[in-house]
């Protein structure tokens, strides 16, 4: 019985890996495109190209928490409904892309400016990208040299890169973040896979907190008052809920089963 359940779940999992809803075969994103978000609520309708946002360039510099909690970007493409006016008032992308803020002593290029469309076209096109820019791919391969490799996603083991100090994501921006008392971090624990033969999952609070703080997960994704209070399955995760909010689009993808299902089967 158990093995029938496992087979069915595995088939469903394989199915969601290979096919998008509607049965169209999904294309696996290239390493440099993994974590890319196309934002187009207003651009095309304003006669501009959609905005291309790359996670790899940004997550190597800043934590997830800084952007998704302090700056308040939604964890869903298009959901924040960013406008040019927001950016010009130093919100969202304009928190950093305002022509005043620096990263490692370099001024970060500014975002939208509705007063000077033509003369600033080259700058506009860095975000309102008209077509695929081959330079991004070259920058990506230059960036990953010397970083610990991984099979899937960006083909970078971000976790090891951070632990080894090869990247040092910033978690605090003056005037944007609020200094907080850090909360005690819970110990690692095992999540039951509940199916015989499927290794349990070891979940590390410590490693997640480095990137995410507490508020990216609690209370929206996991209520988290007591372990086991949220019930979900692998299918939910494939449907981009729970662990699947991040794993599958930005953090390492779900086809790396063994990175989560690590506990030895007795």
Contact (Cβ atoms closer than 8 angstroms) between residue 176 and residue 63: no
CB nearer to ligand HEC: give 24 or 66: 66
Nearer to ligand HEC, 33 or 58 (CB): 58
If the CB atoms of residues 186 and 239 are measured against ligand HEC, the closer one turns out to be 186
Closest CB 104 distance from ligand HEC, rounded Å: 8
Min dist. Cβ of residue 28 to ligand HEC (A): 13
Identify which of residues 33 and 113 has a Cβ nearer to ligand HEC in the complex. Answer: 113
146 by Cβ neighbours in 10 Å (0-12 / 13-18 / 19+) ranks as exposed
| Minimal distance, residue 219 CB to ligand HEC, in Å | 10
| 8 A C-beta contact, residue 200 and residue 261 | yes
CB of 86 to ligand HEC, least distance (A): 8
- Residue 262 CB, nearest distance to ligand HEC (Å)? 7
* Residues 170-182 as b or e (16 or more Cβ within 10 Å = b): ebeeeeeeeeeee
Nearer to ligand HEC, 233 or 239 (CB): 233
Residue 24 CB, shortest distance to ligand HEC, in Å, is 17
- Which candidate, 110, 132, 129, 135, places its Cα nearest to that of 49? 129
Dihedral angle, C-alpha 66, 39, 59, 239, nearest 10 °? 90
Question: Contact, 59 vs 35, CB < 8 A?
Answer: yes
Q: Which is nearer to ligand HEC, 22 or 158 (CB)?
A: 158
Minimal distance in Å, beta carbon 103 to ligand HEC? 3
What tokens were used for 249?
A: 């689009």
- The neighbour count for residue 82, using CB atoms within 10 Å, is 22
Of residues 23 and 244, the one with the C-beta less far from ligand HEC: 244
Distance of alpha carbon 92 from the chain centroid: 16
Cis peptide before 72 (omega within 30 of 0): no
Place of tokens 């090891």: 160
User: Residue 253: exposed, middle, or buried by beta-carbon count in 10 A (0-12, 13-18, 19+)?
Assistant: buried
Rounded to whole angstroms, the Cα distance separating 256 from 181 reads: 35
């Amino acid at each position: 019985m158990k093995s029938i359940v496992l087979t069915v779940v595995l088939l469903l999992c394989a199915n969601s890996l290979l096919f998008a809803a509607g049965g169209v075969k999904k294309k696996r994103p290239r390493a440099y495109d993994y974590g890319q978000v196309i934002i187009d609520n207003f651009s095309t309708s304003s006669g501009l190209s959609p905005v291309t946002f790359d996670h790899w360039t940004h997550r190597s510099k800043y934590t997830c928490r800084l952007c998704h909690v302090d700056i308040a970007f939604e964890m869903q493409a298009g959901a924040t409904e960013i406008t040019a006016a927001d950016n010009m008032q130093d919100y969202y992308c304009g928190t950093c892309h305002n022509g005043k803020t620096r990263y490692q002593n370099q001024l970060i290029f500014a975002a939208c400016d509705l007063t000077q469309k033509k003369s600033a076209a080259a700058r506009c096109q860095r975000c309102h990208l008209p077509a695929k820019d081959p330079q991004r791919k070259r920058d990506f391969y230059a960036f990953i040299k010397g970083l610990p490799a991984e099979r899937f996603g960006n083909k970078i083991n971000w976790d090891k890169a951070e632990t080894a100090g090869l990247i040092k994501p910033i978690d605090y921006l003056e005037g944007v973040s609020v200094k907080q008392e850090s909360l005690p971090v819970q110990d690692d624990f095992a999540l039951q896979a509940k199916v015989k033969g499927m290794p349990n999952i070891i979940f590390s609070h410590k490693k997640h907190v480095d990137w995410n703080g507490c508020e990216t997960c609690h209370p929206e994704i996991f209520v988290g008052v007591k372990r086991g209070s949220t019930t979900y399955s692998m299918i939910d995760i494939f449907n981009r809920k729970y662990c699947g909010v991040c794993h599958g689009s930005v953090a390492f993808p779900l086809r790396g089963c063994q990175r989560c299902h690590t506990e030895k089967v007795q």
